[in-house]
Structure 1
Amino acid sequence: MNAIIDETQCPLCGKINSCQNIINDDSNTKPCWCENTEYEFPVDLFTRLPAKFKDKACICESCAQAYRKNELKNDDNVT
């Protein structure tokens, strides 16, 4: 049985991911938050995704920021 994956929901927390890339509307010219050149998306976060979600649904900004914050905190503890 194949479950339907909602591409508008973050596969980690289930909340709306606000991905601008999935909006197929010609009037949408707003870039997605993840394409901000000042923000480095934590690529390692993709390893937490179950295989069925890879390339199917985007991780939300809140999950990415929480992961990044925790990653930086852990780096501070390294001696």
Structure 2
Amino acid sequence: MTSQADTSQCPVCGNRNACAGSLDCWCAKEKFPKSVFAEIPAELLGKACVCKQCLVRFKQERRGRVVSDTESDSESDGNKAAKPRVATIEGEYKENKGE
């Protein structure tokens, strides 16, 4: 087992994540609920992007919930207005300004 994470693999399923590692990448335009990162093993968190298939699957599994991701994020932040967010390649959040 190697100590360095393979950034080309999804940390959830192990398949290729197709991340370009730039703001032009598909993942820079997606909304990643905070809770999606709970599925990532701690040692891989912030090392590689979740693949699009896992993100879609995760969102589909969560559709049955009453509270949306942006509502739960805004409630935990103490803000009334929901803010769409995207994950950066480091796994952090930034405000999505529609760019």
Common fold by TM > 0.5: yes
CA distance in 1, matches of 2:6, 2:31: 25
Work out which of the two has the higher radius of gyration on C-alpha atoms and give 1 or 2: 1
The one-letter amino acid paired with 1:8 is S
| Aligned counterpart, 1:70 | 61
Greater RCO (Cα-Cα under 8 Å, separation 6 or more): 1
In the alignment, which residue of structure 2 is the partner of 1:16?
16
1:1-79 correspondence to structure 2 within 5 Å:
3-21=3-21, 31-36=24-29, 39-75=30-66
Amino acid at match of 1:34: C
Which whole-Å CA distance do the structure 2 matches of 1:2 and 1:17 have between them? 19
CA distance in 2, matches of 1:49, 1:30: 22
Tell me the CA shift for residue 2 of structure 1: 5.1
Q: 1:30: Cα distance to partner?
A: 7.1
Secondary structure of 1:10 counterpart: coil
Query: Under a length normalisation based on structure 2, what TM-score does the superposition of the two structures give?
Result: 0.58
Q: Is the 8 A contact 1:42 1:64 kept in 2?
A: no
CA distances 1:18-66 after superposition (whole Å, capped 9, x unpaired): 1111xxxxxxx77111222xx4222211011111001111110110110
Quote the sequence identity (%). Answer: 33
Which structure has the highest helix share of the two?
1
Question: Which letter does structure 2 place at the counterpart of 1:58?
Answer: C
> Deviation of residue 15 (structure 1)?
0.4
Over the aligned positions, Cα root-mean-square deviation in angstroms equals: 2.3
Q: TM-score, normalised by structure 1?
A: 0.70
